[in-house]
Amino acid sequence: MRSFLIGLLLAAVLISCSTTPVPSTAEAEKHRKTVATSREKPEISIVKESPSILKGKIPIKQEPSPVSEDTVTRILEKLTLKQKIGQKFISWIPGTDINKKTTELIKKGFIGGVILNSQNIKNREQVKRLTIELQKTALTNNPSIELLIGADQEGGRVARFRFNQFTKFPAAYYWGEHNDPYFIEAAAYITGKEMSGLGCNINFAPVLDLYGKPNSSVIGDRSMGNNAGRVSDYGLFYLKGAKEAGIIPVIKHFPGHGITQVDSHLHLPVVDISEEELFSKDILPFKAAIENGADALMTAHILYKKIDPEYPVTCSKKIITGILREKLEFKGVIISDAIDMGALTENYTMDEIIKTSINAGVDIILVNSRYDTLKLEEKALNLFKKKEIKLSTINESVKRIIRLKLKYALIPFVY
What number is the average pLDDT over the span 318-345? 95
Query: Within a domain: residue 4?
Result: yes
Distance CA 358, CA 363 (A): 7
Same domain, 277 and 161: yes
The pLDDT of residue 275 is: 96
Same domain, 186 and 282: yes
Same domain, 86 and 155: yes
Cα torsion 350, 352, 358, 361 to 10°: value is -130
Check whether 241 has a pLDDT greater than 70. Answer: yes
pLDDT class of 54 with cuts at 50, 70, 90: low
Query: Within a domain: residue 217?
Result: yes
Same domain, 246 and 190: yes
Mean pLDDT of the chain: 86
Same domain, 19 and 90: no
Same domain, 21 and 134: no
Catalytic residue ranges: 265, 337
Beta partners for 297?
251, 334
Q: 59 or 28: whose pLDDT is higher? A: 59
Distance CA 262, CA 132 (A): 38
Same domain, 16 and 156: no
Query: Within a domain: residue 55?
Result: no
Predicted TM-score (pTM) of this structure: 0.85
Same domain, 238 and 352: yes
Task: State the DSSP string of 86-142.
Answer: HHTEEE---SSS--HHHHHHHHTT--SEEE--GGG-S-HHHHHHHHHHHHHHHTTSS
Nearest residue to 257 (alpha-carbon basis) of 244, 271, 245: 271
Query: Within a domain: residue 53?
Result: no
pLDDT digits (tens, 9 = 90+) for 275-322: 999 999 999 999 999 999 999 999 999 999 999 999 999 999 999 999
37-46, 347-356, 387-396: the lowest-pLDDT one: 37-46
Distances in whole angstroms, Cα of residue 270 to Cα of each of 42, 264, 341, 403: 41, 10, 15, 34
The pLDDT of residue 200 is: 99
Same domain, 6 and 150: no
The pLDDT of residue 413 is: 78
Same domain, 32 and 81: no
Domain span at 315 = 73-407
The pLDDT of residue 265 is: 73
What number is the average pLDDT over the span 184-202? 98
The pLDDT of residue 35 is: 33
Same domain, 102 and 212: yes
Distance CA 300, CA 287 (A): 15
Distance CA 274, CA 10 (A): 46
Query: Within a domain: residue 378?
Result: yes
Number of domains in the chain: 2
Same domain, 250 and 365: yes
95: left (phi over 0), alpha (psi -120 to 50) or beta: left
Query: Within a domain: residue 268?
Result: yes
